[in-house]
Each structure stands twice: as C-alpha cells, then as structure tokens.
Amino acid sequence: MFERPASGNRAVIVQLDLGEPGQVERLNEISLLAKSAGAEVLAVVRGKRRAPDAALFAGRGKVEEIGAACQEHQADLVLFNHQLSPVQQRNLERELQCRVVDRNALILDIFALRAKSHEGKLQVELAQLEHLATRLVRGWTHLERQKGGIGLRGPGEKQLETDRRLLGVRVKALKERLAQVERQRKTRRRARERRDIPTVSLVGYTNAGKSTLFNALTKAGAYAADQLFATLDTTSRRVFLGRGTVVLSDTVGFIRDLPHSLVAAFHATLEETASADLLLHVVDSASDDREAQIEVVNKVLQEIGAGDVPQILVLNKIDATLAAPKVERDACGNIARVFVSAQTGAGLDGLREALAELLLGEDVPAEPG
C-alpha cells in the first residue's frame, strides 16, 4: 500500500483552463481534495491553453511560473488538477525538483486514507498498484548512472523486470480475492431476493450528505463528515416503513473525472447499486454546481450499469437554502423529487412515505412535510 511521507505536504495547486465549464467549482474541488489528503495549499497557479503540452502539460513558461511559486512558498509538492501521463509527470518532477501529483493519484491517496474494511483496503490497493504500474520507471531514475546504453540496462533493467513481475503477482492475487468477495456478495444478494426484501442504494456526488441521510433514516451511526469521500465502505441496514421493510445501502460518493482504475476496483461494491430496486440520488441543493454534479453522477451510473435503475432526486441541505420540505411529482403523478434536510430531519417523514409508496405499494399524502 502507498504510504504518505511524514513531510512534504506544502502544496502548490495547478489548474489550467482547457475549455471545460465550471472552472471555479473545479478549483474549489481540488482545494477540498488537497485538504482531505492533509496538504497545506500555499498557492494556486492558473492558466489557459487550447490543449495540454505533450512533454510538460503546462508548457515551458507556465512551468517556470510554477517553479517560482514553489521557491517563493518553499513548497515541496505540486498538485495538478488534471490527469498527467507518466512522461509528463517525470518531466515535471525533473524540471521542478519536487514531487508532482496529478488528480488521479490524489484521489487514490484519499481513498487509501479512508478505507477501513478489509474489502475497501483491497480495492484501493488494487487501484493504486495499477496506477503505479504505468509509472514504475520513476522509482529507478537513480540507476540511469549505471546504464550501459539506451534505456536502463544492467542492474537497473533487472530491477525493473523484478519489480514489474512482483507487482503483477500482487495484482493477480488482489483480483482473485476481490472476485471471492464479489461471489460472497452475490450470495447474500440472492438470499435477500428470495426473502423478497426491496433494496435501496444511496448515490450522489461526494459530500452531498448521503451518510448523514443514511444515519437519519437508519440510526446506524455510520461515519459522516464534511469532507470528500468520508464514506468508502458500503454499509447496509434494514429500515422499517409502515407495514414492510427495505434494505438501505450507503455507498461511495462520485466525483467528476473519477479514475477508471477506481471504478474497476470498486466493481463489486458498485454492482450493489446496479442491482438495487431504487436509487436515492442525493444532491447538495446548496451547491452552485449541483446541476453539473447530477450530470456526473448519472454518467457514472451509466458506466456501472445502473443507468436504468429507477431513481428519486433527494434535494438535501434545505436548511441552508431555506426551501420547504416537500415531495414533488411529475406530470404523470410519479414521485420525482423530495426536499429534505438530513441534518435537521425536515422532510424525512415525507421521504419515508415516498419509499413506502414506491416499494411497498402504500399511499403517500400529496404534500408530506
């Protein structure tokens, strides 16, 4: 597993405008990610390009500006709010003489901090090793002095071959263990289906308040905090609704540009979402970026095969927007959106009644509070 150095968390953030919308929100998000990883953000370097530079991503002039910011603030870490290729990362570290971490590696690092269960740790380690595999050569640049020709010949080449082989063995072992976990999960799911218990999965953008809502509905006491990726390990509890019971599951939050290696590693966990009878899509209604966040979540749901699962939008944090708790229906009379505050409990009765109507066939008042 990746271990963070004891020092080296004085960071400069780099964000380039490559034509994507929501630049302010993206910058706020990388700042929160950096904070969640334990970094101290000392400066932000911004710029605009039509396309990334093949060698340095940011271009020579901008890299000099980043280097000057590092020297001025005595930073030892540069966080790019972009995905860097192994070559770009290696070139940037050579130019800047400090560690360079891209968005994917930063998210992986936070996942490593947050994983608590055995399965979660296996999933994160697999994602980290597959990310590391493309960058393995970086660890052996000190052997370039020993090479006898092109590339890393002699002991450097042998060490690389050994390291790649060992890494491959570990990746294979992790995949086998996760496959076993997935089989066990399917067995439990079939048992639930035989008992005919409806299942509901909480999904949403990271920090939308899913775990707080889960705790409010189940009294489970799952970990909830105002930080990105507070929840990694799926937690399931039974919830009694009127005359029946449903199983409610809290899941990992999504984020824009979620690394594919993480989606693949968390396949077994995310498959629970795809097999649910209903999704509660929790949205931070107080966020200016909520529409883009809804779009990101729906895109990830499509990727994991959950795009066709029925869902209700749960507009959370109405205590911050001063909106009234209510249930909204579409033109056909179907429940479309529920306004709640998981923090204060406002609107939770309406949400419970909406779940009972959809999953247990019970009537719900037109405008529950």
User: pLDDT digit string (tens) for 294-328?
Assistant: 999 999 899 888 899 999 999 999 999 999 999 99
Is 123 found in the same domain as 91? no
Averaged over 205-234, what is the pLDDT? 74
User: Who has greater pLDDT, 270 or 152?
Assistant: 270
Decide if 69 is inside a domain. yes
For residue 75, give Cα distances in angstroms to 11, 22, 40, 96.
5, 27, 9, 10
Decide if 161 is inside a domain. yes
Is 205 found in the same domain as 327? yes
- Specify the DSSP class assigned to residue 74: T
User: Who has greater pLDDT, 258 or 48?
Assistant: 48
Is 217 found in the same domain as 318? yes
- Whether 302 contacts 333, CB under 8 Å: no
Give the domain extent around 169. Answer: 118-175
> Among candidates 23, 22, 84, 81, which has minimal Cα distance to 53?
84
Is 163 found in the same domain as 29? no
Confidence of residue 158 (pLDDT cuts 50, 70, 90): low
Number of residues in the chain: 369
Decide if 320 is inside a domain. yes
Give the number of other Cβ atoms within 10 Å of residue 184's Cβ.
Answer: 12
User: Who has greater pLDDT, 140 or 344?
Assistant: 344
Decide if 1 is inside a domain. no
**Backbone dihedral region for residue 89 (phi beyond 0: left; psi -120 to 50: alpha; all else: beta):** alpha
Kindly tell me if the per-residue pLDDT of 369 is higher than 60. no
User: pLDDT digit string (tens) for 197-216?
Assistant: 899 999 999 889 998 999 99
- Whether 234 contacts 249, CB under 8 Å: yes
pLDDT for position 204 = 92
Is 151 found in the same domain as 29? no
- Whether 272 contacts 197, CB under 8 Å: no
Report how many domains make up the chain: 3
Mean of pLDDT over the chain:
83
Going through the chain in order, the beta strands assigned E by DSSP cover 10-17, 40-48, 77-80, 99-101, 199-204, 235-241, 244-250, 278-284, 311-316, 326-329, 335-339
Confidence of residue 191 (pLDDT cuts 50, 70, 90): low
The CATH number assigned to the domain holding 207 equals: 3.40.50.300
Averaged over 279-300, what is the pLDDT? 93
